Structure 1
Amino acid sequence: MVTLTTVGYGDIVPVTPRTRLIDTLVVMPARIAVWLLFLGTAYQLIIRRYMEDYRMATLKTALGRLVIVCGFGNTGAAAVKELLAKGTDPKQILVIDHQENRARAAAGCGVAALQGNCTQEATLRDAVLEKANALIIAAGRDDTSALILLTARHLNPSIRIIVSAKEEENIKLFRQGGANSIVAPATFGGYALAAAVDQSHMVQYLEDLLTSGGRVHLIERQIREEEIGKTAADLKPAIVLRVYRGNTVIHLADGSPRRQAAPGGETCSCC
């Protein structure tokens, strides 16, 4: 302790005004700097590690409901904020990013954050990917996203994976790699821009439809047992837009409103 604080044993002390001034202006700040360095090292090695272990223990209590977000850039951050706005428990969201400042920013949103490389199998195992419910990949680069996709699908064949694609030509590669849903922000943005040319309120309506604060809600759910045998007109006040039966998509706006729901795990999209 004596060596660490540089105070000595008291056998040598400043006696002249000049040496006392040097001790006050130079030696004392150096002592404080040494203590700050010691505390910073202790935080890195002990406190921070303890907090990460605590967060991971908390995540394990949310197994089966956990949503992992790989990448906390503009797209990943928007996805996390929307999940929180929709009422997702912050304890059920884990963000992984290789940049420390982004991981800190994610933690500032109240969700669990892990600094690491999402392309590495060890990182995804630490994130308990095997027990997670969904994975959002927003790495910012298609090649990185593809590697994360293949690694994640290998670790958890049943997890739902949503990928953000930068280039439209890579969408088919993501689909072949096992992605359940693929979103191309640039392509969808182009669609919205084109629609806004002749329809001045289209962009506002789409934002209202997609965000939690909007008044138009589009939901996807399983056909209930009591709804089997009924038609779309019988399911009011909900407006049934589509019914998914296995790999078949039934469009109820194509002139077949009398099609009846059938047993067997159908899914419907309602507005």
Structure 2
Amino acid sequence: MSMEQAIRRLWIVILALCGLIAFGTLAFHLAEGLNPFDSLYLTITVLSTVGFGDIVPETASGRMIYMMLVLVGIGIFGYAVSSIASLMAERSVFKLARGFLFLGGEEKLRDHVIVVGWNQVSKFVCDEMRVNGQKVVLIVEDDERGREASRAGYDALVGSPLEEGTFKAARIDSARAVVLTEDDPSKNLMTVLRVRGLSKEVKIIVVCSDDLMRSLFYRAGADRVINLANVSGRILASFVFEPLVAEVIEDLSEARIGLDARQLTFRAGRSYTVGELRSRGLKGIIFMVMRGEKKHYYPGESFALEPGDIIVLAGLKDHLDHDEKLLEGL
């Protein structure tokens, strides 16, 4: 059962229980002449099987109502209490409610990243997103993985990534990217097709260790396919032959302290040369400028940056924070 179905069933039970309490309160009030509070009190004691006996129905109609509540109500009340207690024990009610009621709000979920799957890869992805202040919605297929994600500090939507409703609940329409980290490449491929069918604009990034699948992922609509074995293998080799280079790459990837790299969009009102930006206090190294489909690596002082260019800056984290504010003020 998907999380959306679980929430729907829970709401039905709660509404049925509230309706039963309202019916019992009104019925006892009319049949027994009790005040509203005593009628509510009697209804609750009947449904909860407490039955203190301090207030009892005295009329035939009151006893009929009592018997009906006992036969119909105890089952509903017991089922509702056990369901709520079970979900609360798993911390699922809070996750479900937040996932489908609060996170579902348009103002709450926008420009977020949807991560599919929970494993070591997705944990590192989520950790890095958190460090950079990026909102993440995690999709897992079962409650056990949901609890694992919860223990790691992340809220998860439990549902199949092959179902349209799961991605609608994760607000695929306003997401900036979807990252697929499942170990099964076939499932990832079907998920790419599902996501691309729901959104033509969202960026899809897939983790895949099978080079034979790369072309299939791109045909299905993936924007980027990452072979972790390939990347990690190159870094491991660098630690043997060029350890300092490997340390720089590792430092750049962590983005916590020391070196960092940042992608920014140049939004100034006019063009500026790299030299002009330096004279205004730019501290980081402009590693690459992308204009349209063309990439300009390490542009010189005379290179003119145009509004709309995408810049990749590298340098110390504090320097890049300064440069980002500088560029925003142009």
Name the TM tier (shorter chain). Answer: 0.7 to 0.9
Give the corresponding residue for 1:219: 262
Cα deviation code 1:225-271 (max 9, x no counterpart): 1672413684431201111111111122xxx6255234352101110
> What is the aligned partner in structure 1 of residue 186 from structure 2?
143
> Paired residue for 1:168?
211
Of 96, 113, 132, which aligns to 1:86? Answer: 132
Partners of 1:234 and 1:117 in 2: how far apart? 49
- 1:43 maps to 85
Distance 1:38 1:165, change over 3 A: same
**Matched AA of 1:190:** G
Offset at residue 37 of structure 1 (A): 9.2
1:64-86 per-residue CA deviation (whole Å, 9 max, x = no partner) reads 22221100111111111121122
Are the equivalent residues in 2 in contact too, given 1:232–1:240 (CA < 8 A)?
no
TM-score normalised according to structure 1 size: 0.76
Determine helix, strand or coil for the equivalent of 2:304.
coil
Question: TM-score of the superposition, structure 2-length normalised?
Answer: 0.63
SS class of match (1:43): helix
1:104: Cα distance to partner? 1.3
Q: Deviations over 1:8-48 (max 9, x none)?
A: xxxxxxxxxxxxxxxxxxxxxxxxxxxx9985434357994
Q: Which amino acid in the other structure matches residue 52 of structure 1? A: L
For the structure 1 residues 119 and 223, does the alpha-carbon distance in structure 2 shift closer, same or farther, using more than 3 Å as the test? Answer: same
Secondary structure of residue in 2 paired with 1:213:
coil
* Higher radius of gyration, 1 or 2: 2
Runs of 5+ in structure 2 lacking a partner? Answer: 1-44, 50-77, 315-330
Paired residue total: 239
Matched, 1:246 2:289: no
Cα distance change of structure 1 residues 209 and 118 upon mapping to structure 2, 3 Å threshold: same
2:119 aligned residue: 73
1 CA distance for matches of 2:240 and 2:185?
Answer: 30
Residue 123 (str. 1) matches residue 166 (str. 2): yes
Q: Which amino acid aligns with 2:295?
A: V
Identity of aligned residues (%): 21
* Per-residue Cα deviation, 1:202-230 (whole angstroms, up to 9, x for no partner): 33322211013231110011123167241
Q: 1:54 to 1:229 in 2, by over 3 A?
A: closer
Partner of 1:55: 99
List gaps (5 residues or longer) in structure 1. 6-35
